[in-house]
Structure 1
Amino acid sequence: MDALVAGQQARRRIRPPEPLVMAASPTTPAAFKCPISLEVMRSPVSLPTGATYDRASIQRWLDSGHRTCPATRLPLASTDLVPNLLLRRLIHLHAATLPPSPSPEEALSQLAASHGEPAAAEKAVRSLAAKIAPEKGKQASVASAVAADLDSTVPALLSFAKGGAGTDARVDAVRILATVAPEMVPYLTRDGTEKRGRVKMAVEAMAAVLSAGGVSEDAKKALITVLVAGDLGRVVATLLAAGPTGVVVLEAILTSPVPDADRRWSEPVQCPRSRWPWRPRPRPRRSRR
């Protein structure tokens, strides 16, 4: 019985805490910043070497195949990540002394007005990303703010995702795009001369979301579910006409674990301007030796 209680307590101690929501500040102590991203740690965790990193940054380091500590360069006896609760508490106390972060609408206005100023754009993106997950209400507020003016906010986020200063900040921009990507699916099936620019914007955003490593699988599945739920023939035709970025989206649909995606993809679909149903070519099977 004592062993069972001890095991439960141990599991509670090592359970990953909810990510910390905090934007960077000039007064932020260096110890609060991740050695990899140089940003304030949202969920500080320690390696066996004693070095502490933000969970998302060190996890990407480990997932890429590294088995050394980035700071000390020492080999890792274990890749277990232990939450640094004391440091997290100190970061929380420091965050309480900072001015409130801007609302999603204010951050988007700052992003739109930051042309030629990468630091200002990154600050706005970081502020928006800090409001995404795990609280669904906060994520919905960001999605609502972006969706209110897709034609200006999405190009700004795409531009930053392609040329932002830091890798983590660029991933944050794509994570923000993921909150509204499903709402851009109707652009792929609309008629009209004004749709061309919107189709290009929508396909680029979807390709960025589906190919990014920092976007959750749930967000990718949600986008693919919406893509295959409507007029699949027109969606396929539009993606094929979009060039390489459209191919990225099509490949994501083909390899998706979403059950309905596999079923709909195997059905013949009627392409626009064609009298004959078109069936996607089946994926080649590897021969067994």
Structure 2
Amino acid sequence: MAALTRAQRSNVLFGYDGTKENDPALRWAVEEARLRGLDLMLCYCWHWPYPSGHVDAGVQAVFQRAGENLLRKGARRARALGAQGKVRTLLRREPACDTLVYESDDAELIVVGSHERHRMPAGSTATELPSRTRRPVVVVRGADGGHGLVVAGVDASESADATVGFAIEEAALRECDLRVVHGAWEPGAVPESDLPLFADKAKLFQARAAMLEKVVHPWRRRYPKVHVDVMPLLERPREALLDAAGTADLLVVGDRGTGSLDPLLLGATSSAMLHHAPCTVAIVPAPRYAAQNAA
């Protein structure tokens, strides 16, 4: 395991729901906290099934006790899975996404599970959270793994540096290779000055390869033991990344790319990866992992 080259926040924040389907995500959160030397915070949010003005202290006490019991069970499970730092718990009567955003100030990253194997429902925590928080969000999909590969999806936007930074950290911690992929065929999301490149595929490939090398170079120097492959592809980003994700343990993408207009929404490619990628997906906000700001 490689030591990171910057200071970290105090914990890995995990959205816990106590279900069997949530266990792969708990495993990931435990491993993430162990590799980074951080505490693990298990957060469970219980839902009040009555109208907001309804008051029933007895029923509320029952829900609270059930939540406390569930969190104790989760903490025991986390320790059984190898948690080495402190395992703390947090019980809230609030929507899960609101709570995770609010509690993320001290979190290095947030881990949540996905119960869906394909497209996730609109409004789920896994789809809503990445667009609302300024922390990386790891959405764990199933228990597959063991490929020894992290894939980073990079475009020509300012988020590229942050994406590669988080991805190479994960590769270093997990002793994996890193593959940096860029689907270059995106004429609808480039400045007008770049449009002539699409009339000459050789020039387009050369320009995008140079862009990737510029982004990757400082991170290669910072983590020289990580094997990094750079892959500019003359394909649409969605197809390029879904193909690469088929042999990855983790796919890392930015929250918004060159074509994103609404600051409250994920970029189209990032959203597509959340819904369709076969592996765990990390969504990384732009400013947090800039190489020039790394300690």
**Structure 1 and Structure 2 fold alike (TM over 0.5):** no
- Higher helix content, 1 or 2: 1
- Higher strand content, 1 or 2: 2
Relative contact order (alpha carbons < 8 A, sep ≥ 6): 1 or 2 greater? 2
